[in-house]
Structures are given as C-alpha cells and as structure tokens.
C-alpha cells in the first residue's frame, strides 16, 4: 500500500510540474497563496514557511503513523523545543497540527516586545459560550504566548493547559519557558527571571500568573463560587477576536461551529467613535482582566461586555468619569495622585492617566503604576489614546 501511494504521489508531482511549466510558457499567473493569505483564508494554519504543501504528504504520513501524538510528524528529539508541544520541525517554523494563530484586537502592552499567540482546541470539542462574556474552554485546550525582540530574538513562551473541567485558575496548568541564545531550545522557569538574554524583558514567577489570569487578586480573595470565575485565557473572546486582522476571528469560530451558542458579532464591539473605541478598547485589553469580572479591583470596571451600544453605558465610563478615587487606592507611592479618576477635558487632574504614567521598577512596596505587573516602561501610545478620549469628553 505504501509503495502504491508513493508512486501515485510521484506521478501527480510530475503532472503538476508539467502543468506549471505549460502555464509559465503561456504567460498564465499560477501561484500558491502567500502565508499571510493562507492564514486569512483558513482557520487552521499549520505552516509559517513559504514552501508548497502537497496534500499527498498528509496521505502518506497517515499510512505510516504509529501510536505517537498524531499532531506531530516526527518524534520529540527531532522537534524544536518539544517541551512546548508547539512546533513539529527542528527550526521552530511549522506549528503542530490543529494549532491556530490569533491576534487580539486590543493587545496587552508588554514593553514593546513582539508577541505571537496560538491556541489548540481538542478535536470534536466546542468552547462553551452560553454566556458570551465568559467563554469556558474544554479540557485539553492549550494556549501559547510567545515573546521576542523586534529583530526576531526569541525570549519567552508561556503555556496554559486546561486540565480540569471547571473554570478558573485552579483548572489550568501555568508554565513559562526561557529560550536560549540560539533560539532552538527552552528551559522551564518557575521562580521568575529578569533581563532575559540581555534585554529588559522579565519572566514572571509562576505563582504570579493568576494575579492577572484569575481576574486579579481581588477575585481570588473574594472566595467566589466557581461559576462566577471566568476561564483564564486572555485576548481570546468575542470582542478581542471580532476583527479582520487576526488569523482566527469570531466569525470563523462561529462559521465552524466551534462555539456552543451563536450570537450576533455586531454586538461584540467597543462603542463610540474612533477616538472612544481606541481608548476604551485599550483599557478593555490592558486593564479589564483585573478591573472586571465578579469582583473587580477597587470597584473600578474597564472590561466591556458585549451588547453595550453607547459610551455612556460602558462600565468604564460609569465607574471612572467624575468618580472619586477610593481611600484604599491611596497606598504607598500614591500620595500625589489626583482625587478623581477621570476629569473630562483634563488629563492632568485625572488619576487614571497619572497611574498610567507611573513605573516603580522592582519596588514591591510602591503601588503607583498601572498595570501593576509585567511592565517597566510607560506606554506612551496608550497614554495618548486615553488622553485624547478624556479631552473629548463633555
């Protein structure tokens, strides 16, 4: 059977070559899609290189596969960073089968590092979207976030794996890995690591992961019922995936019936004009994990649920504009903070902008900066987006 398939493959390859030659001689434009085109045209993308992927290869591989993990072509020793279970080649270019790339519409600021995000949903499963604002992922789901410098030096890859059927941080395994100088191997990091490969990028301690991924310490300390928790992946939800600049979009997930409950994508938007959308979206993506959910930090809410159609209805507007800061917010380092969270048309007197401008380095007793974790550099673009919105408020 293998011999027959092999000669069939050879015959088809010869015919394809003759076809391409004939077309080139007649001036026809025959080409495969670029990798970017392929990522836009299909939900499941398994290759980042520009080489032609012949479907016959899949048939041959299927005939000779053994009892190993069928998401990988080769054994672990031949794969790049096998601990990640992300790549299936030795050069870290081809994703394992079934892994999808996605891009949040409003990404988290990470001091200018370049980030790539990937997800895996087990076959024949769906994301439970009964509550479209709280997606619940099936056991076996995995998420990766990869950090690298602008010139391509790999720094860190974080991995989330759903290991229990309930929701919340206790249902997930958190892992993070540092890359070596050559970018071809990783080492697991438990207690954090600073200034990876001579950069300013830091890897967090594992025990700090659920400070953000459980919706902040406030939700962990509130002794919530498990049904009140959101599941831990960030950036993979209705509003964050409802845009065209992602390989995986909300519309594609709905079309492929990967969500249990269908809802109108037109409702999964940030309301307002372009200035409001950019500012509220930025706060949704950068602040909403702690300032949202069933027990938002300091009763300040910046996470926007679907179905909100006006700026004035958003939790961001209602809990910030014209609202006094909470006395408990005035901890160490906050003595000079303005007393009102957002003052329309006055960024100098708005506590929100003041907090965004603060950075306290490694001083764990200084609570001034926001976000409080995983950043040492001020996001000037983010401040500009939020300031323009505040200056336009009536």
CB 90 within 8 A of CB 79: yes
Assigned token pair, 241? 């995936």
Task: Say which residues have a Cβ less than 8 Å from residue 180's Cβ, sequence separation at least 6.
Answer: 186, 187
Counted domains in the chain: 2
- Contact, 353 vs 379, CB < 8 A? no
What secondary structure letter does DSSP report for 119? E
Q: Which residues is 114 bridged to in the sheet?
A: 148
26 lies in a domain? no
Regarding whether 251 and 290 lie in a shared domain, the answer is no
Residue 208 in any domain: the answer is: yes
Same domain membership, residue 321 and residue 193: no
Is residue 387 a part of any domain in this protein?
A: yes
What tokens were used for 201? 């990028």
- Assess whether 122 and 205 both reside in one domain: yes
Residue 107 sits at φ, ψ, to 5 deg, of -75, 155
- Cα–Cα distance measured from residue 232 to residue 161, given in angstroms and rounded to the nearest whole number: 10
Instruction: Say yes or no: 246 and 329 in one domain.
Output: no
Between 182-186, 212-216, 319-323, 374-378, the lowest mean confidence (pLDDT) is in 212-216
Average pLDDT over the chain reads: 81
Do 197 and 325 fall into the same domain?
A: no
Q: Which residues pair with 56 in a beta bridge?
A: none
pLDDT at 363: 54
pLDDT band at 249 (very low <50, low <70, confident <90, very high): very high
Lowest mean pLDDT among 1-15, 47-61, 128-142, 376-390: 47-61
User: What average pLDDT does this structure show over 285-292?
Assistant: 91
Burial class (CB in 10 A: 0-12, 13-18, 19+), 121: buried
The answer, yes or no, to whether residue 280 has pLDDT greater than 80, is: yes
- 160 and 233 Cβ atoms separated by less than 8 Å: yes
Only one residue has tokens 């080489």, namely 51
Same domain, yes or no: 251 and 289: no
* Whether 150 and 199 share a structural domain: yes
Containing domain of residue 305, as a range? 271-392
Residue 9 belongs to some domain of the structure: no
Residues 205 and 100 in one domain: yes
Q: Which of 11-15, 226-230, 368-372 has the highest mean pLDDT?
A: 368-372
Query: What does the pLDDT read at residue 364?
Result: 55
Residue with the two structure tokens 């910030």: 320
- Residue 12 belongs to some domain of the structure: no
50 vs 7, higher pLDDT: 7
Looking at residue 229, what is its pLDDT? Answer: 78
- Do 277 and 340 lie in one domain? The reply is yes
pTM: 0.79
What angle, rounded to 10 degrees, do the helices at 274-287 and 380-392 form?
130
Q: How confident is the model at residue 370 (pLDDT cuts 50, 70, 90)?
A: confident
Q: Domain boundary residue among 211, 231, 255?
A: 255
Asked whether 326 and 339 are in contact (CB, 8 A), the reply is: no
Q: What is the spatial distance between Cα 357 and Cα 369, in angstroms, rounded to a whole number?
A: 7
The proportion of the chain whose per-residue pLDDT surpasses 90, expressed as a percent, equals: 60
Q: Is the pLDDT of residue 80 over 60?
A: yes
pLDDT band at 76 (very low <50, low <70, confident <90, very high): low
For residues 189 and 19, the model is more confident at 189
Q: Which of 146, 109, 41 is nearest to 285 (CA)?
A: 109
- Verify that 248 and 309 share a domain, yes or no: no
Tokens representing 83 are: 């601990």
Pick from 51-60, 123-132, 290-299: least confident:
51-60
Bridge partners of residue 118, in order along the sequence:
101, 144
Exposed, middle or buried by CB within 10 Å (0-12, 13-18, 19+), for 127? buried
Q: What is the pLDDT of residue 215?
A: 66
Residues 193 and 63 in one domain: yes
Spatial contact of 173 and 179, defined as CB atoms under 8 Å apart? no
Please report which confidence band the pLDDT of residue 284 belongs to, taking 50, 70 and 90 as the band edges.
very high
Which of these, 232, 177, 240, 179, lies nearest to 209 by C-alpha position?
232
DSSP codes joined into one string, 310-355? SGGGSHHHHHHBTPBPPGGG--TT-TTS-SBSBBTTBSTTBHHHHH
Spatial separation of the C-alpha atoms in residues 219 and 212, rounded to whole Å:
10
Asked if residue 288 and residue 250 are part of one domain, the reply reads: no
Beta strands of 121-252 (E only): which ranges? 142-148, 154-162, 172-179, 186-188, 191-193, 203-205
Q: What is the predicted pLDDT for the residue at 219?
A: 67
Any domain includes 199: yes
């Amino acid at each position: 059977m293998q011999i027959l398939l092999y000669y069939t493959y050879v015959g088809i390859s010869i015919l394809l070559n003759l076809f391409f030659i004939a077309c080139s001689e007649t001036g026809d434009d025959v080409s495969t899609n670029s990798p970017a085109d392929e990522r836009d045209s299909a939900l499941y993308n398994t290759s980042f290189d520009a080489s032609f992927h012949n479907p016959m290869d899949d048939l041959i591989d299927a005939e000779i596969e053994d009892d190993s993990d069928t998401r990988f072509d080769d054994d672990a020793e031949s794969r790049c960073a096998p601990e990640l279970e992300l790549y299936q080649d030795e050069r870290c270019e081809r994703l394992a089968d079934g892994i999808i790339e996605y891009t949040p519409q409003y990404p988290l600021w990470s001091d200018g590092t370049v980030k790539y995000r990937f997800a895996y949903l087990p076959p024949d499963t769906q994301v439970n979207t009964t509550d479209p604002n709280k997606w619940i992922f099936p056991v076996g789901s995995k998420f990766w976030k990869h950090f690298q410098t602008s010139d391509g030096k790999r720094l860190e890859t974080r991995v989330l794996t759903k290991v229990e059927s309930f929701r919340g941080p206790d249902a997930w395994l958190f892992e993070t890995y540092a890359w070596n100088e050559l970018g071809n191997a990783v080492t697991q990091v438990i207690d954090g690591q600073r200034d990876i490969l001579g950069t300013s990028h830091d890897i967090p301690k594992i025990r700090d992961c659920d400070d953000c991924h459980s919706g902040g310490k406030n939700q962990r300390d509130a002794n919530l019922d498990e049904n009140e928790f959101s599941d831990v992946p960030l950036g993979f939800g209705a509003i964050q995936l409802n845009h065209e600049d992602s390989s995986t979009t909300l519309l594609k997930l709905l079309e492929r019936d990967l969500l249990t409950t269908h809802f109108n994508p037109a409702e999964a938007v940030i309301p307002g004009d372009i200035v409001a959308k950019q500012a509220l979206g930025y706060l949704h993506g950068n602040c909403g994990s702690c300032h949202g959910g069933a027990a938002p930090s300091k009763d300040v809410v910046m996470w926007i649920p679907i179905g909100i159609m006006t700026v004035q209805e958003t939790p961001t507007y209602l809990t910030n504009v014209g609202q006094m800061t909470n006395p408990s917010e005035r901890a160490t380092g906050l003595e000079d903070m303005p007393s009102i969270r957002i003052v329309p048309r006055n960024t100098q007197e708005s506590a929100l902008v003041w907090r965004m401008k603060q950075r306290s380095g490694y001083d764990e007793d200084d609570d001034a900066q926001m976000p409080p974790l995983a950043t040492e550099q001020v996001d000037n673009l983010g401040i500009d987006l939020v300031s323009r919105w505040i200056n336009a408020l009536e």
